[in-house]
Amino acid sequence: MRERWCRPALPVAAALLCLTAAPAAAQNVGESHGGAVADASTAVGMLRLLPGSVPGSSVLPALAAEVGEASAFEAGYGISSAQIDTHSPLAYERVIAQATPYGTAQSTSAPAAPDALVQTAVPDNPKASTEALRWPPSATDALVSAGPLTGKVHARWGDDTGPCVGVVSDARTDTEDFTMGNAVPTVPDLDFGDLALPGKASPPSWFRPGGGLGTLGGLLSTAEADDGRSLVRVPGGISTESKVELVDLPRSERKAVRSTSTARAKTITLFPGSALAMTATLTRRPALTVTATGSEASKVDHTTPEITVKRSGKTLFKLSARKPNQDIPIGIPQAGLRERAGKAKLAPLPIIGGAAETTTGRVVRLGEKSRREVTDLFILRVGVGGLNTTSDETNTPFAGTRLGASARLLDVQLLPTEALAKALAGHREEASRYEVPSTLLQFSIGEQVAHALVPEGGARCGSAAGSSAPSAGTPASMNAGSSAATIGVPMLWIGAVALLAGVVLLVVVPRRGKAARPSPRPRE
């Protein structure tokens, strides 16, 4: 199913781009031609935490210092970013292609990310640059891990045609392995037996898992264990591509500008390392394209991914445009469950989606009556697509309608149930200093963002930048695909990370005052 929308762009990301251009205004290099402003950005993964959501008794207490009380925390991994702004006052910022291993959108004044690969134009770059990128140390290392990462970037500009060179900016990232959710830092790391659950809902004496709430009772790895247990893993790796190109308009000498974001993966594993693991196979790849024509023909094209989720070869559910979301309950046994399970001796591990692991490593599917002997504490919500489109009428840098959209290959949220919220509220030590956030964790695999803007009638070809040599003030290393760590231009970092901020802020806008009700409710 192909979806077409005709709404225009994310104002938050657009505003951030305007902010980043401001310091360069003093180095104006003359009038620019073309009339095209566009960007595309794709992340291998995104992590989001609500403000003030990491308690001091977390399994990862050091992360509390990174997650402020007033603003959300969001971080991107393996980001490819392509941009064009023919009206940029700096010639070498007309076109930017960048591959960034890691960055956060916490601050617009943050330094350039280490080992980011960048190409810029003007002047033109005849060849693309490819490099192995280094994952820098970060506060989220205990939550996210990844294999080797490669970046490829190419920024183009024609001496005579200006931006009309086909694909003007192209950036890619490829990682061999990617894992998210090695722990849950947003709950106190209490033993399950210490939860203030009502008598019937309390776990039996035999249920003593090898971890607390922070590792979902041993379903996840601790930072020290590193035994491959997590919420999500992309074992075969994931690749991203972001590109901007100028394309022909029917019966016109002018051009449309098109931004495209794609993410590719073959399989995604939920709860890897566990007998209860589920394998999600991608049967239809996602694609997000925004095309600005300078007329009502401007549009967003989105292909919603299709995913089939199986365990031990048996299909559990499918995700598509028709059914984009699925809730998977995670619970603990009540006293009567072992008797109902019959001869199978259950292992002291949480129960996922009505399936339990035995002490011999087999998987037992619980019947309807047995499921009533389970107290659900968490919900793992997985979803595809999540297309969002917005529009912005603007006069900067020229009059037009900025078209934009965002989507995801796979969105994974860990949510608390009311049973968990009440149990923590009843815990004497935690009740006075901790409030359960409405979303404990949110991960996105293959985050996609794109925007496009041209004046009425379309973009013009031709170049007023004019020179094949760098203009005054251009860093000497700019046109060699250099590391952004050596480039003192804030926009180059912001371009790769803050383009995703429009999506970030739409999803986890800080909410203060009235407390959010834990969601969803537990199964009855």
Residue 450 identity (one-letter amino acid): A
Pairwise CA distance, residues 196 & 193, whole Å: 8
Q: Are 123 and 467 in contact (CB under 8 A)?
A: yes
Q: Are 272 and 233 in contact (CB under 8 A)?
A: yes
For residue 302, give Cα distances in angstroms to 183, 403, 499: 33, 13, 18
The answer to whether residue 6 is domain-embedded is: yes
Pull the structure tokens for residue 153.
Answer: 């970037």
Number of compact structural domains in the chain: 1
Q: Are 194 and 493 in contact (CB under 8 A)?
A: no
Pairwise CA distance, residues 309 & 326, whole Å: 10
The answer to whether residue 70 is domain-embedded is: yes
Residues composing the chain? 524
Other Cβ atoms closer than 10 A to 333: 25
The answer to whether residue 429 is domain-embedded is: yes
Give residue-wise pLDDT tens across range 465-492: 444 444 444 454 444 444 333 233 333 3
Residue 283 identity (one-letter amino acid): T
The answer to whether residue 483 is domain-embedded is: yes
CA angle 358, 279, 317 (to 5 degrees): 95
Q: How confident is the model at residue 456 (pLDDT cuts 50, 70, 90)?
A: very high
The pLDDT of residue 510: 31
The answer to whether residue 518 is domain-embedded is: no
Sign of the C-alpha dihedral computed for residues 348, 349, 355 and 360 taken in this order: negative
Mean pLDDT over residues 186-202, rounded? 87
Scan for tokens 């990232």, then name that residue: 173
Mean pLDDT over residues 389-403, rounded? 91
The answer to whether residue 344 is domain-embedded is: yes
Mean pLDDT over residues 85-98, rounded? 93
Give residue-wise pLDDT tens across range 278-293: 999 999 999 999 999 9
| Per-chain mean pLDDT for the chain | 81
Residue 240 identity (one-letter amino acid): T
pLDDT of 77 over the 70 cut: yes
Pairwise CA distance, residues 508 & 73, whole Å: 9
Mean pLDDT over residues 62-88, rounded? 88
The pLDDT of residue 503: 42
Q: Are 400 and 453 in contact (CB under 8 A)?
A: yes
The pLDDT of residue 432: 55
Q: Which residues contact 409 (CB under 8 A, 6 or more apart)?
A: 263, 265, 282, 286, 305, 384, 444, 445, 446, 447, 448
Pull the structure tokens for residue 131.
Answer: 């490099």
Q: How confident is the model at residue 241 (pLDDT cuts 50, 70, 90)?
A: very high
Q: Which domain holds residue 339?
A: 2-507
pLDDT of 20 over the 80 cut: no
Mean pLDDT over residues 26-44, rounded? 72
pLDDT of 520 over the 80 cut: no
The pLDDT of residue 374: 94
Estimate the crossing angle of helix 11-21 against helix 490-497, to 10 degrees: 170
Q: Are 59 and 222 in contact (CB under 8 A)?
A: yes
The answer to whether residue 521 is domain-embedded is: no
pTM of the model: 0.83
The answer to whether residue 341 is domain-embedded is: yes
Q: How confident is the model at residue 369 (pLDDT cuts 50, 70, 90)?
A: confident
For residue 133, give Cα distances in angstroms to 139, 152, 173, 174, 446: 19, 10, 9, 10, 18
pLDDT of 429 over the 70 cut: no
Q: Which residues contact 314 (CB under 8 A, 6 or more apart)?
A: none
